[in-house]
Amino acid sequence: MEPLLNNLRKDIRMQKESDRQMSTAWILVYIIPFIVSLVIAAYFTVTLLDVFSSIDFSDPQSYNYSYDWLPAEFVSVWLMTLLMGAANCVVTIFLNYLLVNRRATHFKRQKFLSEDIISTIDYLAKTKDISVDVNLSSLQRTLREANYEETEKSAILWSILSAFVPFIQLYVYYFLVKDFYRHEHREDGFWVDASGALNTLGVNFSVPQRIKPMPYRSFVLYLILSIVTAGMFAVYWLYVLVKDPNEHFKAHIQAETQLLTALESVTV
């Protein structure tokens, strides 16, 4: 029993290391370029208005103003815009890497945890000579589904593609929303089956209720809203991509801690 508990302890340590909370301040990746663009546009507009306001249209010939400053002004504005775009591109690549990488690390770790829970239940069932075959079969099926659907996606590859290939960013948002939602619902079923099996085996464990279950978020609806709002809704979209997994990870810590406490109290 102790080797199985050690595996569970290792899984929980991996959870604390891999499922790190991301700050929702990452939405500034979208907000700051928008604000800077408005400032640049406002500055250039005010400058041009100031120039034209000095023209006496009743006597155009009397107007004698040098435009020598104009090329330099255009160059500085475009240079500032390019630099801002380059910086935003680098930050976006890094952000996408974080989002995709934590999906991959969490799904991988969860599969290890599921395997260890199944092994522990199977060991207890054989030791106590109590049949929980129905629960074990359901748990194993859920794990097979996870192995089939939660395929690994390279964080480096998808983060780079999203910066340079059109519409790839949308696909990244699509699978992040879809995969985490399905993962949580599949996981809820796994916890219910595990709790039923453990209680049958005399282990007092009940699955903690999720405080904030992950809601269903329609990719099509979010895409339409982002287009209609000229990209402003994408700020909220990014916000939920950060927030939803954060809430999911918090529930994990609570459930796994209670599971380990319940199993450590068992004497076999």
145 against 254, higher pLDDT: 145
Residue 80 pLDDT exceeds 80: no
pLDDT band (50, 70, 90) for residue 222: very high
Over residues 23-52, the mean pLDDT reads: 73
The vertex-162 CA angle with 156 and 163, nearest 5°, equals 95
pTM: 0.80
Residue 198: per-residue pLDDT: 92
Say whether pLDDT at 103 is over 60: yes
pLDDT of residue 263: 84
Segment 196-216 shows an average pLDDT of: 88
Q: Chain-wide mean pLDDT for the chain? A: 83
pLDDT value of position 72? 64
Task: State residue 157's pLDDT score.
Answer: 94
Name 7's Cβ contacts closer than 8 Å, sequence gap at least 6: 116, 119
User: Does residue 209 lie in a domain region?
Assistant: yes
- 4 in a structural domain: no
Least confident span in 77-81, 164-168, 194-198, 212-216:
77-81
Question: In the chain, which residue ranges form alpha helices assigned H by DSSP?
Answer: 2-18, 28-53, 69-128, 133-149, 155-164, 168-200, 219-228, 233-264
pLDDT at 28: 78
Q: How confident is the model at residue 142 (pLDDT cuts 50, 70, 90)?
A: very high
Instruction: Examine residue 1 and state whether it is found in any structural domain, yes or no.
Output: no
Q: What's the rounded mean pLDDT across residues 208-212?
A: 83
Mind listing the pLDDT tens digit for each residue in 162-178?
Answer: 888 878 989 999 999 99
CA atoms within 13 A on the CB side of 152: 7
30 vs 177, residue with greater confidence: 177
Give the whole-angstrom CA distance, residue 46 versus residue 64. Answer: 20
Specify the pLDDT at position 182: 95
Residue 212's CB is within 10 A of a number of other CB atoms, namely: 12
Name the CA dihedral angle for 54, 55, 58, 60, rounded to a multiple of 10 degrees.
150
Instruction: With respect to residue 196, please indicate whether it lies within any of the assigned structural domains.
Output: yes
Domain containing 80 equals 11-264
Question: 2 lies in a domain?
Answer: no
Answer whether residue 214 is part of any domain: yes
Q: How many CB atoms lie within 10 A of CB 166?
A: 7
Give how many domains the chain has, as a whole number. 1
Q: Give yes or no for a contact between 34 and 252, defined as CB atoms under 8 angstroms apart.
A: no
pLDDT of residue 56 exceeding 70, the answer is: no
On the question of pLDDT at 250 being above 90, the answer is no
Residue type, 64: N
Query: What is d(CA 163, CA 29) in angstroms, rounded to the nearest whole number?
Result: 13
CB contact at 8 A, 105 and 174: no
- Whether the predicted pLDDT of 71 surpasses 90: no
Q: Which residue has the higher pLDDT, 91 or 133?
A: 133
In a domain, 80, yes or no: yes
Q: Predicted confidence band at 45 (pLDDT cuts at 50, 70, 90)? A: confident
Q: Is there a domain that residue 162 lies in?
A: yes
